[in-house]
Amino acid sequence: MSAASAGPAHLDDILYPPIEPYESGFLLVGDGQRMYWEQSGNPDGKPVVFLHGGPGAGTSPWQRRFFDPAVYRIVLFDQRGCGRSTPHLSDPAADLRFNTTWHLVADIELLRKNLGIDRWQVFGGSWGSALALAYAESHPAAVTEIVLRGIFTLRRHELEWFYEGGAAAIFPDLWEDYLAPIPVLERSRLIEAYHRRLTDPDPDVHRPAALAWTTWEASTLTLLPDPDLVATMAEPDAAVAFARIENHYFMHGGWFRDGQLIEDVAAIRGIPAVIVQGRYDVCTPIMTAWDLHRAWPEAEYVVVPDASHSATEPGIARALRAAADRFAAS
C-alpha cells in the first residue's frame, strides 16, 4: 500500500493501521450504473457504512482506518459517477439524469440488502453527512448509530455562503481564482454560470471550470494550507467528475425542500449519534451543525476548537475515531 493510499502520515498516531479489503465488487444499481463497493475488517463484525463527501469525491483507502478492524465490518462504496463506479462523470457523455440524492439513498439500501446486513452504523462527513441524514430519515429501522462530521444540508444559504460569495470575506485571494473562469456579467449567479461550463462537452470549456471549482474547495478545507490535498483533488479527471456532480446537486438543492434534513430529524432522534464539527469550518460553517444540534439535542455534539472542515485534520480525526470506538461494543 502506498503512503498516499494509507493517508496522511500525521494520521498514523490517530487512526488504526492501514488494511486491505477482504472483498470488493460492483453492484448493478440500475440506469446503466455500476457501483464499486468493498468490505474490510472483521467479516463477522459490527457493520458500518462510510459515506464519502462531495458529492463526487469517491472513497480513499485511508478512510477504512477510523474503525477498529477487529470489531467492525467496514463497508466503503463510491457513489454514482465517481471513484471506481461507472460510468465516471469525467466522461462528458455520462448522463447526470440518474444521479440524485434519492438514487443514492436507494443504492445504499440495495447494497445493505445485497450484503446481507440487517442493520448498520451510518458514518458520513460533509456531503456524506447530508446523505447519512437522508438515508437514516428514510430507513431509520436499518440504522444502529449515526456519526456525522462537517454538517452540510444544502440549504440555500449554505450554498450561497460558500459558492456565491460569503466565504470570499475570509479567502479573498483564493476567491479571485474561483471567479476567473466566469465573465463579470455572469457573476451574480455563480453556481448557474459554472453549470453552463461544467456541462459543456468541450474540454477547453469544462476542464478549466472544473479545476477552478475544485481548487477553490480543496484550498479552503483545512485550517492551515494543505498543498498535497489540493494537488490530489485537482487531478484533471477527478476534478471534472467532482465539480460536475457537486454542481449538479447544488443546482437542484440536493432534491430537498429547503431545511428538510433538519426539519425531519424527529424520525431519527431515538438513534444514538455523534455530531463532529470544526469550529473554523469555512466550507460548511458551524451554523448548520448548531441548527442540527438544537433540533437533535440527544445526539452528542463535539466542537473541535482548532479545526476547519477536513477529516484529515488531527482534532477531527481523533473525534471521529472516538465516536466509532464509542459505538464499537453497542
Q: Is the dihedral of CA 101, 291, 147, 127 positive or negative?
A: positive
The percentage of the chain sitting over the pLDDT mark of 90, rounded to a whole number, equals 91
* 3 state SS of 101: helix
Q: Biggest alpha carbon distance in the chain?
A: 58
Tens-digit pLDDT profile for residues 118-150: 999 999 999 999 999 999 999 999 999 999 999
Q: Is the pLDDT of residue 317 over 60?
A: yes
Tens-digit pLDDT profile for residues 186-207: 999 999 999 999 999 999 999 9
Tens-digit pLDDT profile for residues 31-64: 999 999 999 999 999 999 999 999 999 999 999 9
Catalytic residues: 126, 281, 309
Asked if residues 210 and 239 have their Cβ atoms less than 8 Å apart, the reply is yes
Supply the pTM of this predicted model: 0.96
The percentage of the chain sitting over the pLDDT mark of 70, rounded to a whole number, equals 98
Cell numbers 450554498 correspond to 159
- Cell readout for 206 is 469544462
Tell me the average pLDDT of the chain: 95
Asked if residues 221 and 57 have their Cβ atoms less than 8 Å apart, the reply is no
> Which H, E and C letters describe 233-284, residue by residue?
HCCHHHHHHHHHHHHHHHHCHHHCCCCHHHHCHHHHCCCCEEEEEECCCCCC
Lowest mean pLDDT among 222-236, 266-280, 291-305: 222-236
- For residue 6, what pLDDT band results from cuts at 50, 70 and 90? low
Measuring CA to CA, which residue among 21, 28, 110 is closest to residue 74? 21
Give the sheet arrangement for strand 23-30, strand by strand: 23-30, 33-41, 72-77, 46-51, 120-125, 143-149, 273-278, 300-304
> What is the distance between the alpha carbons of residues 243 and 96, in angstroms, rounded to a whole number?
12
Whether cis (ω within 30° of 0) applies to the bond prior to 8 is no
